[in-house]
């Protein structure tokens, strides 16, 4: 039996004649990081905003931690935390005031420890407009976490962050996940989605075109696996040498690079050929298609396998 915290069933959202979301369904389990991906206008924001209670659906049903976002907005406030993409705070509010202000409305004690943790200890007296973009996003995250929500919505959480803060934010996400918090991650950063998400859904034209683990989604594509080989001798330099399942060969920086549709036979044949020519292998790298490759394949060709 699954432990679904977010249940989206046949959800539909329209704006006049424009169908932004066209009957999508998915579930997010407790303690799961779920990546919601898609190009601009795919329906991500409408889906997120409806789950956050900011929009009313035009069809289907939504449930967040057992709460209907449209019918029970007060209950929803205490079970969700939202890091918005836009500012969301008055310019002249200080970091400390913001923490006290939001926690007071949630009925919890201010979590100043989160400010320290997110590198805002030195900025607690600074006004919001005096913070850098990265600091503003960190404050937004601290406020989203302060009341210990069971569902966390992160919209482009690492945009504008430096590497160290990005790593810290990922660590916090993993800690929250370990504590059972479900996280919906909306991002354009495919490497982040691939690294952090347990499962992802790709939206296109208001529909979920594919869903699964990042590995499953990338595996279903027609993408070619890249095999880069470097040897001591010149056993691979003859362009006439062919290997099974290889569709293309290029040379770059002393590497022979093969694009394979079936990695097993290709690698076996390359190694056998090197041995047969009494050459010596220096380096062999296999790179499967990334989530970004697969995302581009889906969003540009609409190809879903």
Partner 1 sequence: MTAFVNHFSFEFRTGIRNKQLLFMNYLFPLGFYLMMGFIMPSINPLFLETLIPALVVFAILATTLLGLPDPLVKAREDGIFRSYKINGIPASSILTIPALTTMLHLVIVTAIITVTAPFLFDAPSPVNWLNYALAFLAMAVACAGISVLIGVVSSSTRMTVLWSQLIFIPSMLLGGLMIPYNMLPDAAGKISQLLPATQAMNAFNGLAMGAADYAPWGAPWGSVIVLVLSGALAFGLAIYLFNWDRRNPTQRGHPLMALLILLPYVVGIFLL
**β-bridge partners, 26:** 8
Q: Which of 106, 166, 207, 273 binds partner 1 (CB under 8 A)?
A: 106
Is the Cβ of residue 66 or residue 90 nearer to partner 1 in the bound state?
Answer: 90
In angstroms, what is the minimal distance from the CB of 18 to partner 1?
11
Is the Cβ of residue 77 or residue 249 nearer to partner 1 in the bound state?
Answer: 77
* Residue 259 lies near partner 1 (rule: CB under 8 A): no
* Residue 68 lies near partner 1 (rule: CB under 8 A): no
**β-bridge partners, 8:** 26, 62
* Residue 32 lies near partner 1 (rule: CB under 8 A): no
* Residue 100 lies near partner 1 (rule: CB under 8 A): yes
Residue-wise burial string across 181-194, b where 16 or more C-beta atoms lie within 10 A, e elsewhere: bbbbbbbebbebbb
* Residue 54 lies near partner 1 (rule: CB under 8 A): yes
Q: Alpha-carbon distance 225 to 6, whole Å? A: 35
Q: Alpha-carbon distance 219 to 36, whole Å? A: 18
* Residue 105 lies near partner 1 (rule: CB under 8 A): yes
Task: For residue 252, give both structure tokens.
Answer: 């770059």
Please give, one letter per residue, the 3-state secondary structure of 52-94. Answer: CCCCCCCEEEEEECCECCCCCHHHHHHHEEEECCCCCCCCCCE
Q: Which of 92, 234, 242, 305 binds partner 1 (CB under 8 A)?
A: 92
Q: Which of 52, 155, 192, 297 binds partner 1 (CB under 8 A)?
A: 52
Range list of β-strands (E), the chain: 4-15, 18-29, 33-37, 59-64, 80-83, 151-155, 182-186, 199-204, 207-212, 225-231, 246-252, 255-260, 281-287
Q: Which of 16, 164, 178, 253 binds partner 1 (CB under 8 A)?
A: 16
Q: Which of 35, 38, 43, 53 binds partner 1 (CB under 8 A)?
A: 53
* Residue 57 lies near partner 1 (rule: CB under 8 A): no
Binding site for partner 1 (CB under 8 A): 15-16, 52-56, 74, 77-78, 80, 82, 84, 86-93, 97, 100-102, 104-107, 127, 143
């Amino acid at each position: 039996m699954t432990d679904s915290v977010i249940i989206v069933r046949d959800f539909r959202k329209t704006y006049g004649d424009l169908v932004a979301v066209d009957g999508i369904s998915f579930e997010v389990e407790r303690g799961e990081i779920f990546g919601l991906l898609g190009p601009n206008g795919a329906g991500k924001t409408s889906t997120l905003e409806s789950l956050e209670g900011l929009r009313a659906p035009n069809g289907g049903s939504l449930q967040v931690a057992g709460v209907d976002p449209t019918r029970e907005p007060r209950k929803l406030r205490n079970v969700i935390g939202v890091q918005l993409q836009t500012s969301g705070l008055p310019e002249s509010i200080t970091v400390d005031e913001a923490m006290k202000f939001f926690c007071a409305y949630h009925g919890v004690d201010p979590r100043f420890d989160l400010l320290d943790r997110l590198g805002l200890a030195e900025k607690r007296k600074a006004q919001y407009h005096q913070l850098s973009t990265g600091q503003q996003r960190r404050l937004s995250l601290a406020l989203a976490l302060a009341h210990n929500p069971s569902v966390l919505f992160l919209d482009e959480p690492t945009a504008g962050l430096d590497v160290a803060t990005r790593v810290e934010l990922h660590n916090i996400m993993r800690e929250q996940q370990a504590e059972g918090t479900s996280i919906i991650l909306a991002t354009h950063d495919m490497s982040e989605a691939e690294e952090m998400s347990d499962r992802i859904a790709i939206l296109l034209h208001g529909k979920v075109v594919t869903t699964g683990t990042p590995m499953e989604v990338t595996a279903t594509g027609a993408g070619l696996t890249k095999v880069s080989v470097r040897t001591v001798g010149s056993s691979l330099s003859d362009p006439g040498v062919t290997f099974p399942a290889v569709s293309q060969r290029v040379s770059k920086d002393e590497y022979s690079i093969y694009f394979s549709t079936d990695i097993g036979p290709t690698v076996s044949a390359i190694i056998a050929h090197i041995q047969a020519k009494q050459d010596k292998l220096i380096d062999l790298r296999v790179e499967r298609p990334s989530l970004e490759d697969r995302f581009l394949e889906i969003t540009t060709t609409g190809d879903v396998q």
